[in-house]
Amino acid sequence: YYSWDEVLKKAREAGIPVILVDRRICCEDKSLWKTLIINDYYKQGQMAGEWLIDNLEKGERIDKEIKIAELRGTEDSYEAQEIGNGFKETIKDYSNIDITISKDGYFLENSAYEEMLNILSETTDIDVLYCHNDDMAFGAIEAIEEAGLVPGEDIIILSIEGTDEALKAIVEGKIACSVECNPMMGDLFMEACVRLANGETIEREIHPVDRVFDITNAQVELDAREENGYGY
């Protein structure tokens, strides 16, 4: 990995405080940057797991055997590890709820499509599909439908990202839940700048608020995005 230490040292020598946004960097001297504004990927995984547990309880399936297939993001990426670990930590106390299949989908729709086709050619004994982003969910949905199954009925689909297209798929009944990966970090960045300028102590990490979207609020959120002129 390329080290940012030399570049950030020059910024400090020039009296310029550094705020990182959306990405971690390789830097041995952590004092060279003030704060990191980034999504809490581990919490996103937890939120997906909590939604699943709640849904199974409401459907009186919490004591049933639940087999989960997982389509992971890019292998060894920080985001994929955190999203996966947060989910696994949340369901670990339920011995009947198990990730029986876990494959790399690389955060890509085409890769997820191919991987899901391979999975379904070997077994359709899957209750839940957990995708590390919405693009992989879309690819998996195509494969599920080609296999003659009904997404949302035969397989409950959970994903991470909360994009406009995922919200539409929730309204259509194909995706059950998509946990937001909120990209709206501009206000948090400006607030951090003001706080630093005022000499305030600032947190090492600042996380935007991520929400859980399902059939109860997906259409409301779509309407709000259209009304306010934004989407993602």
Q: What is the pLDDT of residues 200-232, one digit of tens each?
A: 999 999 999 999 999 999 999 999 999 999 889
The pLDDT value given to residue 2: 61
Residue 121 backbone phi and psi in degrees, to 5? -70, -20
Report pLDDT for 192.
Answer: 98
3-state SS class at 213: strand
Distance of CA 70 to the CA centre of its chain: 13
Short-list 95, 72, 69, CA closest to 83: 72
Ranges of residues in the chain with a pLDDT under 70 are 1-2
Strands 212-213 and 177-180: antiparallel
Owner of token pair 């689909």: 157
- Find tokens 């306010």 and name the residue: 228
Sequence-ordered strand ranges (E) for 29-167: 35-37, 66-72, 97-104, 128-131, 156-161
Judge residue 62's burial from the number of C-beta atoms within 10 Å of its C-beta, 0-12 exposed, 13-18 middle, 19 or more buried. Answer: middle
Predicted local distance difference test score (pLDDT) of residue 3: 79
CB contact at 8 A, 127 and 68:
yes
Q: Phi/psi zone of residue 209: left (φ > 0), alpha (ψ -120 to 50 degrees), beta? A: beta
Q: Rounded to the nearest 5 degrees, what angle is found at the Cα of 183, between the Cα atoms of 216 and 33?
A: 140
For residue 167 the two structure tokens come to 């919200």
Q: What is the DSSP string of 1-27?
A: ----HHHHHHHHHTT---EEES-----
CA angle 62, 112, 94 (to 5 degrees): 20
**Residues in a beta bridge with 212:** 179
Cα torsion 131, 133, 137, 140: sign: negative
For residue 2, which phi and psi values (nearest 5 degrees)? -75, 130
Q: What is the three-class DSSP state of 159? A: strand
